[in-house]
Amino acid sequence: MRNIEKYRNAFINVLDLEEDDVCEDLALGVTREWDSIGHMTLISEIEDVFDVSLDSEWITEFDSYLSGIEILKRLGVDFD
């Protein structure tokens, strides 16, 4: 499975979204399911799936679907 699929699946599984609901417009606090509890659960899932550790600055910076991809790229996760 490609990394982008793993990333999408994290959103689907943790936030209980339909596959069609996962898009680049997803954002913390805008998407009903992505509240503060959903955020921490999503962070935990992404750390497990990609075997990375996000520090508090990155956790705060991770506020949208696209920002999560950029953070993971900085941590060496390949999305190409």
Look at residue 11 in the predicted model and tell me its pLDDT: 97
**Type of residue numbered 3:** N
What count of residues does the chain have? 80
pLDDT bin (cut points 50, 70, 90) of residue 8 is: very high
Look at residue 66 in the predicted model and tell me its pLDDT: 97
Q: Can you tell me the mean pLDDT for 27-41?
A: 94
pLDDT bin (cut points 50, 70, 90) of residue 60 is: very high
Across the chain, what does the average pLDDT equal?
A: 96
Spell out the domains of the chain, with CATH numbers in brackets. 3-75 (1.10.1200.10)
Look at residue 80 in the predicted model and tell me its pLDDT: 81
pTM over 0.85: yes
Q: Is 44 helix (H, G, I), strand (E, B) or coil?
A: helix
How crowded is residue 46: how many other Cβ atoms within 10 Å of its Cβ? 21
